[in-house]
Amino acid sequence: MHPRPHKQRALTLIEAMMSATILAVVAVATSQAIVAGQMQTYDALHRQRALTLADSLMDEILRLPYDDPDGASGKGPEAGETPRSGFDNIDDFFNYTQSGSRTLLGGSLQDVTGTAYADPYQVFTYAVSVPASTQSVTGLGGAVSGLLVTVTVTDDNAGSWSLEAFVPDPSP
C-alpha cells in the first residue's frame, strides 16, 4: 500500500490541467490585447489619413487669391472654371464636396490634378464651406470681414474631422 505515488500522480495531472487552463487564459488575454492594439493603430492611421486630406485641401484653397483675377466673383466657380483645377479664387470652393468611391477604377476622391488618392482614402468625403464672416483679429485693429474656410472630412462610420481658417478680405 503506497498511496503516495498515486496521490502525487493525481496532483501532477491536476497541476498540468490547471497550468494548461492558465496558459489558455493568458493566450486569450494576449490575443485580445493584440486585437485592441491593432484597432488603435488602425484608428490612428485612419485619423491621420482624414487629417492629411483636410490639410491638403485647405492648403489648396489657401493658395488661391481672395478675389477672382478676372473681376467679379460669386459664390462657387465662375463660368469656365470647372473642374476644380480651374478654380481661381477662394470663394469658388463654396459648398464644394467630393466623395470617395472604391467602385470606380482608381477611386473618385482626387487631388487637384485629378489624381485619385490611394484606396484607403476612398472611404472619405470632403466638403468645404466658405461663408462670409466677421472676426476679431489681433493685429488687424479688431473686427475684420472675410471668409471663414472650413474643410470637413467625414467617413462612412460617423467620423468627422474639420479644419478652419479665417481669410481676411484684403480690400474690404
Which residues here bind Ca ion, judged by CB under 5 A? 68, 73, 78, 88-89, 91-92
**Rounded least distance, CB 69 to Ca ion, Å:** 8
**Residues counted in the chain:** 172
If the CB atoms of residues 3 and 69 are measured against Ca ion, the closer one turns out to be 69
- The one-character DSSP state at 25 is H
Closer residue to Ca ion in complex, CB, 88/169:
88
Which residues have C-beta within 8 Å of that of residue 117, sequence separation ≥ 6? 53, 100, 107, 109, 110, 111
Give whichever of 58 and 147 is closer to Ca ion, judged by the CB atom.
147
Instruction: Give the shortest CB-93-to-Ca ion separation in angstroms.
Output: 9
Residue closest to Ca ion (Cβ): 73
Smallest distance from the beta carbon of 86 to Ca ion, in angstroms?
8
Instruction: Give me the least distance between CB of 91 and Ca ion, in Å please.
Output: 5
Q: Which is nearer to Ca ion, 89 or 110 (CB)?
A: 89
Q: Distance between CA atoms of 170 and 131, rounded to whole angstroms?
A: 16
How many whole angstroms separate alpha carbon 120 and alpha carbon 99? 13
CB of 130 to Ca ion, least distance (A): 9
> Could you give the CA distance from residue 70 to residue 82 in angstroms, rounded to a whole number?
15
Beta bridge partners of 154: 125, 160
Task: Locate 141 and state its grid cell.
Answer: 485693429
Residues 6+ apart with CB under 8 A from 42: none
Q: Which is nearer to Ca ion, 77 or 107 (CB)?
A: 77
Regarding beta strands 142-154 and 125-129, do their DSSP bridges make them parallel or antiparallel, or are they unpaired? antiparallel
Q: How far is CA 99 from the centre of its chain?
A: 13
